[in-house]
Amino acid sequence: MSKWHDFPDAQIAARPDAPAFEDNGGARWTYGELDAAINALAEKLVETGVQPCDRVLILAENCCAAVAALFACSRLGACAIPFNARQTAGEVQRVIDHARPAAVLFTSAASADALAHADRLGAHEIEGAFGRLHLAIPFPSEPNPELDDVAVMLFTTGTTGTPKGVMLTHENVLFAGRLSAELRGMTQADVIYGVLPITHVFGLASVVTAATSAGAPVRLEARFSAARTYDALNSGITLFSAVPQMHALLMQYTKEQGYAHLPHNTLRYVSSGAAPLDPAWKRKAEAFYGVALQNGYGMTESTAGICASRNEIGDPDISVGPPLPEVEVRIDETVSGGGRGVGEIMTKGPHVMKGYYRNPEATKEALQDGWLRTGDLGHFDDRGHLHIAGRCKELIIHGGFNVYPPEVEAALNDHPKVIQTAVIGRMVDGDEKVIAFVQAAPGDEPSPEELGAFAAERLAGYKRPSQIIVATELPAAPTGKILKHKLLEYFAVEAR
């Protein structure tokens, strides 16, 4: 059976001296050096007792060592669990409690947050061809045969109760990486800018896996910075995938430097994902980059890809494009979405997850006769392109990260002066902002600043509301249920 690490292994065998990955910490690895790093880290994990079908949690921000950790797990037959180090201690602990990893790796040299987690969890430092990491062993090895074909587990954090671990098989990630490389026309001559977090499915599939499939070198960035992105895109980058917020900040920074567009642009492919496109904004972005701005649609449970556009520059199409090759998509109109062919988007194919780890009930609800129920609403146009009409669920995608309103609401509701909270997303300049409406007792209202500080102690940065509106009542139905679709209208003045 093919394995995830087959992609880098093929490059290692054929082109050991070719550039593979570099990061802003100074590491610059050829494929031969990547091989040495993977082997060294695999040996360290074996020494700690990691076995096939074990779980290895990787608390990371983008760096070469994180890539080595992913493929070391694959070579060992262990399941990698990449998780963003910017998550709070509580969020990390919930994943540890659910997954019970045999080992936890921390990219402590590349991330102050990873180092803080390492210190809190009593990890010790390890060094080798992979650089410097920290390692903790929270549980004795407990291999789970259910994970025999699972390459990676990605947690959809934010729901109340037990977090959901999306099990993606080796077949899933190989398919997604190969398809992503083909869609972008990647070759060994390309240089990819890896600013999307590789702890999330977009960066994992469309950057790391796709690049090793094609043999294209990647410049990894731990965190987005408009200044660093500007410098990178003016120094030989050819492929750039990002979310609308990143594009907008880069365009603003470039304008501040006195340019209408990148002065030394070598880009040939630019894509935007994780949020809808606005027609005027798309035209502005294409004028800035000088190439077509491609759009796409996917989710963690579908190993990122479901649909993607292949438009020429200037095409007014703002759909997410047609289904990808070998991917089936249909619309379930029994889930009402507003008529005219609108319904819940369902998809089937080699991109669909195996299921949720240790959660058969959620798996049964999401997977029905091989079809994945996305929870999103959409319809096809006459060209067979998919248009996203909304979400069945209340998921907010802010800066490319998933934000689940129930988690934000629960965090604010813990405040002693808060009666109840309603959280929604609001599209601003191509990105969904998190807006919280808080009900408090008359005369005892907490300030937005107080609530913001309270939320900051409990939520990762991208989950924190950009605006908190405090009121003594919220629009509600006779049953007491908050009418979320009325909030922006009801608070039109405050929410401007």
| Same structural domain, 422 and 387 | no
Half-sphere exposure of 190 (CA within 13 A, CB side): 25
Q: What is the pLDDT of residue 47?
A: 97
pLDDT band at 478 (very low <50, low <70, confident <90, very high): very low
Q: What is the pLDDT of residue 446?
A: 94
Structure-token match 């789970």, residue found:
144
| Same structural domain, 385 and 411 | no
Q: Please state, in angstroms and as integers, the Cα–Cα distance from residue 66 to each residue in 57, 108, 170, 442, following that order.
A: 11, 10, 18, 50
Q: What is the pLDDT of residue 477?
A: 56
Q: Residue 480: pLDDT above 70? A: no
Structure tokens given for 20: 């593979």
Look at residues 27, 429, 443, 42 and name the one whose alpha carbon lies nearest to residue 244: 429
pLDDT band at 158 (very low <50, low <70, confident <90, very high): very low
Task: Note whether residue 477 is domain-resident.
Answer: yes
**358-379: per-residue pLDDT in tens?**
999 999 999 999 999 998 888 9
Rounded distance, CA 18 to CA 106, Å? 27
pLDDT band at 160 (very low <50, low <70, confident <90, very high): very low
Q: What is the pLDDT of residue 179?
A: 97
| Same structural domain, 94 and 49 | yes
Task: Note whether residue 317 is domain-resident.
Answer: yes
Q: Which range is least confidently modeled, 145-154, 233-242, 374-383?
A: 374-383
| H/E stretch holding 79 | strand 79-84
Q: Residue 479: pLDDT above 60? A: no
Tell me the longest C-alpha to C-alpha distance in the chain.
72
Rounded distance, CA 154 to CA 95, Å? 10
Structure tokens given for 186: 């990647």
Task: Note whether residue 184 is domain-resident.
Answer: no
Amino acid letter, residue 213:
S
| H/E stretch holding 9 | helix 6-14
| Same structural domain, 372 and 428 | no
Look at residues 425, 436, 422, 491 and name the one whose alpha carbon lies nearest to residue 467: 436
Q: Which range is least confidently modeled, 25-39, 204-218, 385-399?
A: 385-399
| Same structural domain, 158 and 274 | no
Rounded distance, CA 396 to CA 319, Å? 19
Q: Report the relative pairing of strands 239-242 and 269-272 from DSSP bridges.
A: parallel
Q: Residue 225: pLDDT above 70? A: yes
- Count of residues making up the chain: 496
Q: What is the pLDDT of residue 171?
A: 98
| Burial bucket for residue 382 (CB in 10 Å: 0-12, 13-18, 19+) | exposed
343: domain CATH number is 3.40.50.12780
Q: What is the pLDDT of residue 162?
A: 59
Amino acid letter, residue 93:
Q
Q: Which range is least confidently modeled, 37-46, 312-321, 384-393?
A: 384-393
Residues of the chain above pLDDT 70, percent: 95
Task: Note whether residue 186 is domain-resident.
Answer: no
Task: Note whether residue 471 is domain-resident.
Answer: yes
**Domain end among 372, 391, 410:** 391
Asked if 328 contacts 347 with a C-beta cutoff of 8 angstroms, the reply is yes
Q: Which range is least confidently modeled, 115-119, 180-184, 268-272, 425-429?
A: 425-429
pLDDT band at 340 (very low <50, low <70, confident <90, very high): low
Rounded distance, CA 367 to CA 348, Å? 9
Q: What is the pLDDT of residue 481?
A: 63
| H/E stretch holding 218 | strand 218-220
| Same structural domain, 235 and 117 | no
| Same structural domain, 237 and 112 | no
Q: What is the pLDDT of residue 161?
A: 46
Task: Note whether residue 115 is domain-resident.
Answer: yes
How many domains does the chain contain in total?
3
Contacts 24+ apart (CB under 8 A), 265-269: 265/233, 265/234, 265/289, 265/290, 266/233, 266/236, 266/237, 266/238, 267/233, 267/237, 267/238, 267/239, 267/240, 267/291, 268/190, 268/238, 268/239, 269/184, 269/185, 269/238, 269/239, 269/240, 269/294
429: domain CATH number is 3.30.300.30
What does pLDDT average to over the chain? 92
Amino acid letter, residue 375:
G
Helices (H) and strands (E) in the chain, counts: 15, 26
Q: Residue 288: pLDDT above 80? A: yes
pLDDT band at 294 (very low <50, low <70, confident <90, very high): very high
Rounded distance, CA 174 to CA 4, Å? 6
| Same structural domain, 375 and 408 | no
Q: Residue 152: pLDDT above 80? A: yes
Task: Note whether residue 211 is domain-resident.
Answer: no
The secondary structure of residue 323, as a DSSP letter, is B
Q: What is the pLDDT of residue 443?
A: 87
Rounded distance, CA 487 to CA 467, Å? 13
Q: What is the pLDDT of residue 281?
A: 79
Q: Which range is least confidently modeled, 64-78, 101-115, 374-388?
A: 374-388
Q: What is the pLDDT of residue 106?
A: 98
| Same structural domain, 380 and 407 | no
**The domain containing residue 72 runs over which residues?**
6-174
pLDDT band at 157 (very low <50, low <70, confident <90, very high): low
How large is the average pLDDT for residues 238-265? 90
Q: What is the pLDDT of residue 67?
A: 98
166: domain CATH number is 3.40.50.980
Q: Residue 338: pLDDT above 50? A: no
| Same structural domain, 378 and 401 | no
The secondary structure of residue 204, as a DSSP letter, is I
Q: What is the pLDDT of residue 335?
A: 73
pLDDT band at 337 (very low <50, low <70, confident <90, very high): very low
| Same structural domain, 279 and 133 | no
**265-283: per-residue pLDDT in tens?**
999 999 988 766 778 778 9
Q: Residue 224: pLDDT above 70? A: yes
Rounded distance, CA 358 to CA 292, Å? 42
Rounded distance, CA 472 to CA 452, Å? 18
Q: Please state, in angstroms and as integers, the Cα–Cα distance from residue 67 to each residue in 30, 63, 70, 220, 386, following that order.
A: 13, 7, 5, 10, 33
Name the more confident of 188 and 278: 188
Amino acid letter, residue 365:
E
454 three-class SS:
helix
Rounded distance, CA 475 to CA 481, Å? 9
Q: Residue 307: pLDDT above 80? A: yes
Q: What is the pLDDT of residue 150?
A: 98
Asked if 412 contacts 438 with a C-beta cutoff of 8 angstroms, the reply is yes
